[in-house]
Structures are given as C-alpha cells and as structure tokens.
Amino acid sequence: MVYYTLMGLFDRFVTNRTSIQNTDVEASLAPFNLSTSVYGLLNAPTTVDRASAMSVPAVARARNIICGTIGSLPLEQYNKMTGAHIEPLRVINQPDTRVSGFVVYNWLAEDIWLYGVGFGLVLDAYESDGRVRSWTRIEPRRVQPRYNLAMNEIEGYEVDGKLAPIAGVGSVIRFDGADEGFINRAGRTVVAAIELEKAALNYAKEPVPSMVLKSNGTNLTSERIGKLLEAWRNSRATRSTAFLNADVEMQSVGFDPKSMQLVEARQYVALEIARASGIPAYFLSAETTSMTYSNATSERRSLVDFSLRPILAAIESRLSLPDICPSTSEIRFDLDDFLRGNPLERAQVYQILNSIGAMSVEQIQEEEDLIR
C-alpha cells in the first residue's frame, strides 16, 4: 500500500512517461492529478507563470495576505510530552543569518501556496548530530527530482543541474503542501483574469468602441487611407469633437465596457480567485459586506482555518522533524497576537482565568506586554 501511495505522490512530478510500457491496474486506480488531462481536452491552459499571475491584482493581494501573514507569525518550540514552552532554536525563527526570518518564510509560504511544494537548502549543520544549523529558501524551479530506473521513487534532488547530497551542507529540505498548488489548480481562472485585465487596458487606451471610417466617395489609395487614419488618431488625442465631410462616415463596431459588463466580469473573476485561493472574499474586496471590529476578528479566524492552516501545518511538521528539531520537541506558529480580540474581550477572558487560578496577574501583564 505504501508503494502505491508513493507512486501516486511522485507521478505528478514525472514530465515524460512514454518510456513506461507496463501498466499496473491497481496502482493506476490511486489518486492522481486530473488537471492536465481534463483541461487538455478543453484545449485551455492549465498553468500560468508567476509573473503573469501576479499581474492580476486579486492574485497579488491574496498572495500578500496569505504569505505576508505567515511570514510575520513567530514560531515557538514546545516539549511534546509536557507541552511546556521551550526557547526556540535560532534556526527556527532565523534560518538564514543573512536575512530576517520573515523573508525566508514569506517566500517559502508563496512556493507552497503557488506550486504545492517548497524547498530549503542547508547552509550549515552541527558536527555532533548532523542537525541543521542554518538553511535558506531556494527557488523551486532550481530544484529537480532524480528518479530511480522505474521512475516511481525519488532518489535525490538536483540543484542547478548538480546532484545535492542526501544530508548535511548542500542537501535539500522539502516542504510538501496539501495539493498541487494555486497556480496549477486555478490556472484557467487566472488566465481569464489576465484577459480581462488586457481588455480593461485596451478600453483605457481606446475609451470608445472600435471605429470604422467609411468612404462614401471614390476608392482611396492605401497611402491616403493611412494619412486619414493617422490624422484621425492625432485629432482624437487632442480634442473630443470630430468633423467629417460628406465623403467620410464613421461607424462603431463592437461593444463598450458597460455593454460587455466588463466591471461585473472582473468582480466575478476576483470572487473565483478568492474561492480558489481559499481566502475569504472580503479580504480581496470581491464582495461588499458591512464589517465591524467583532466580525473582522471572526474573519481572521476564518482566514487561519480555511486558508493559512494547510501552509502552516506544512511548515510546522517539516521543522519538527529530527534533522532540524530535537525529537522531544515540536514547532508551532504562535497565533495569539494575530487572533487576539479587542481589549474588552481580552479583559473578560483574563478575569475568568484569574478567578479560577489559571493565570496570575503577572502572567496577564506579561501576555499584554505590560512588564518591561
């Protein structure tokens, strides 16, 4: 069973499978990525590159909210048996001494969100036990898996075309996401948004429907037609009123943005991007709601539960493995500050916890940063 699960996991990284002749029927029934086959039949692109996706305002905002939030969250270390808080290792909150931890985890979260997988490169390791002392995020496109002869198991990774060691300095740390990534899952939606952005740009350049100048007199030569169109364009750039003699007639073709419902279409695509990225539509302004402080706090909880949680779990679980963190400890993101309520709500909670002896006054002051 493990063999078939591994095959299903690694199969989506195989780019050329024509050399495989035998078909394992039982293995073929395992889950696999349907996007390529389905969207290929529809003759539509399934993926877009990062630069194109980020040119869509809704995608860029979703990325900045999700990845920026994750990068700003502190990581804490806890004892697995007692749950006691432990001072986290330096490699946890600042894996690369050259840059802040925010930069590393911000871009690592983007890789997991966009591509479904992120990679780290080990920069230093302890000689005593081989645990990672420092590492940094590496661009996923620089990493390629190397398979065994049967093409069903990853034996190692190549970084910039060179085989990386299995462990130690120069080895690869892999952060697996929950799915194939936003850029693969929502490729068609992003392409639709890009085309709508192009349409909006075209109408910004030419704020009226496409025009045709029709000659009612004799046929004009190509040279005279070119001069007429050039004069018409230059005149429209300087004044809005036009004058035509009896030999030339202007006709409009196509539809204006209002007739095409361009605004409504862009709003709908923004809503679809919010759905595909798992982010509440309110954060992308994809729907109009009346937000108060109370339900804004609730929206933050929804953001964590339905959008951030899979990426948080991917990073937490990988950092908790023994090659980075001691086996008796685990790593978790600290969400207290991000999810904390308003001062009145916090005071009521503290009052209850203090009355039952769960928190002392000193602990409450420390929680509220009142102790200097």
Query: Do residues 351 and 335 share a domain?
Result: no
Query: Do residues 96 and 111 share a domain?
Result: yes
Q: H helices of 216-360, where?
A: 222-238, 257-260, 262-277, 293-303, 309-319, 336-339, 343-355
In a domain, 367, yes or no: yes
List the pLDDT tens digit at each of the 372 positions of the chain: 444 444 444 444 444 444 434 434 343 333 333 334 333 333 444 568 899 899 888 899 999 999 999 999 999 999 998 888 899 999 999 999 999 999 999 999 999 999 999 999 999 999 888 899 999 999 999 999 999 888 888 889 999 999 999 989 999 999 999 888 898 888 888 888 888 877 766 666 665 556 777 777 777 778 877 887 788 777 767 776 677 776 777 766 554 555 555 667 777 888 888 888 888 877 877 665 555 545 666 777 888 888 899 999 999 999 999 999 998 999 999 987 777 666 766 777 778 888 888 888 887 777 776 665
Helix axes 57-72, 262-277, angle to 10 degrees: 30
For residue 363, the SS3 value is helix
In a domain, 198, yes or no: no
Query: Do residues 316 and 333 share a domain?
Result: yes
Query: Do residues 305 and 370 share a domain?
Result: no
**Amino acid residing at 130:** G
Q: What is the pLDDT of residues 31-55, one digit of tens each?
A: 333 334 333 333 444 568 899 899 8
188's CB contacts (< 8 A; 6+ apart) are 39, 44, 45, 46
In a domain, 244, yes or no: no
Quote the pTM value: 0.68
In a domain, 269, yes or no: no
Q: What is the pLDDT of residues 78-111, one digit of tens each?
A: 999 888 889 999 999 999 999 999 999 999 999 9
Q: How far apart are CA 106 and CA 238, in angstroms?
A: 47
Query: Do residues 38 and 97 share a domain?
Result: yes
Query: Do residues 115 and 160 share a domain?
Result: yes
Residue the block writes with tokens 């078909």: 23
In a domain, 277, yes or no: no
In a domain, 37, yes or no: yes
State how far the alpha carbon of 324 is from the alpha carbons of 104, 118, 156, in Å: 16, 16, 19
Look up residue 208 and give its two tokens: 């009226």
Q: Please name the helix (run of DSSP H) or strand (run of DSSP E) that holds residue 11, with its range, or none.
A: helix 2-11
Query: Do residues 304 and 354 share a domain?
Result: no
Total domain count for the chain? 2
Query: Do residues 103 and 38 share a domain?
Result: yes
In a domain, 292, yes or no: no
In a domain, 66, yes or no: yes
State how far the alpha carbon of 122 is from the alpha carbons of 139, 163, 182, 284, in Å: 13, 14, 27, 36
Query: Do residues 351 and 340 share a domain?
Result: no
Query: Do residues 319 and 370 share a domain?
Result: no
Dihedral (CA of 110, 112, 117, 119) sign: positive
Domain of 163, CATH number, reads 3.40.140.120
Length of the chain: 372
The residue segments making up the domain with residue 82 are 2-186+299-345
Per DSSP, the residues of 175-243 read EE-SSS-HHHHTHHHHHHHHHHHHHHHHHHHS-S-EEEEEESSSPPPHHHHHHHHHHHHHHHHH-S---
